[in-house]
Amino acid sequence: MPSKKKDSAPKSAEAAAAAVPEEPQRTRLAVRKTYKLYVGGAFPRSESGRTYVVADSKGNFVANAAQASRKDARDAVLAARAAFGKWSGATAYNRGQVVYRVAEMLESRRDEFVSLEVPAAEVDAAVDRLVWYAGWTDKIAQVLGGANPVAGPYFNLSSPEPSGIVAIVAPRKPTLLGLVSVIAPVIATGNTCIVISDAPRVAITLAEVLATSDLPGGVVNILTGSAAEIGPWLASHADVNGVDLTGLADAKLAVTLEQAAAETLKRVRRPAAALDWSGDPGLVPMTAFLETKTVWHPKGL
């Protein structure tokens, strides 16, 4: 009977499926990521061999992250200094393209950051912030610099230039937007930096974004671990020119780091109480690590 046949067709298919020998129930074992440091464009382990346990918000073990040491901090300074000449000497247009490329790469890893418990809206805001700074690279000099009408026959021009190497303590929250908000202004203006983060999964995943964005190695170096341990070495390092403590919640440590920075007259951004990371950053994140260079030349026939 046609109708019976019709009815039985799916049944016979099920039966056929059931006839296949049953595979044992098995979920695929995931390939975990090793969270290492990001120094000079490479992902080395800590020279000290130390790691620390990272858990997710439910307390489940997720990784043994590299715990950076004093030696790693010094290596990072070397890498940042080596990268400074080329990066600060790159055209502003080129830096803008690279920072925009970072935004593109971050956008494409949106799901990965969401899986690391970063709210989707925060990932979007971080991407948008990078785009904002990408546009600043070739505008900040015109906004901050210019010709000075001196009282004499002289050409006189002031231009902003990067301070050099900036050591940054990344804010704990918001993890991704905070991290991007402290790195982007510093590199957009031609500085190179060393970031201390104690959110290894987000920080090192961002490092992967940076590493695939045509950003030269050493422009951004990320050390995961304790700001209290590594911070003083960077704040007192004679080849570091600036210290950004905006994201540092530990007020006592901030004072220690500012005091250490005084030894070589580093530019210091102090911790910001109740900073709204999602608001308009204004110019200060950029101007904090910019110098003004003024060039004079006589005019004459």
Contact track, other proteins, 104-143, x by CB under 8 A: ---------------------------------------x
Please identify which residue in the block is written with the tokens 């957009």.
188
Candidate residues 45, 238, 244, 269; the one interacting with other proteins per rule CB under 8 A: 238
Closest separation between CB of residue 62 and other proteins, Å? 36
Interacting residues with other proteins between 140 and 159 (CB under 8 A)? 143-144, 148-152, 154, 156, 158
User: Is 43 one of the binding residues for other proteins (CB under 8 A)?
Assistant: no
Tell me how far, at minimum, the Cβ of 271 lies from other proteins, in Å: 10
Closest CA to 46 of 80, 82, 70: 70
Q: Does 259 bind other proteins (CB under 8 A)?
A: yes
- Residue with Cβ nearer other proteins (37 or 166): 166
Taking contact as CB under 8 A, which single stretch among the options 101-109, 197-205, 206-214, 267-275 is the one that binds other proteins? 267-275
295 scored as a contact of other proteins (CB under 8 A) = yes
Contact between 189 and other proteins by CB under 8 A: the answer reads: no
Q: Which residue is it, tokens 């301070």?
A: 163
Determine, following the binding rule CB under 8 A, whether residue 33 of this chain makes contact with other proteins: no
Q: Residue numbers of the site for other proteins (CB under 8 A)?
A: 89, 143-144, 148-152, 154, 156, 158, 163-164, 238, 241, 251, 254-255, 258-259, 261-265, 267-268, 270, 282, 284, 287, 291-298
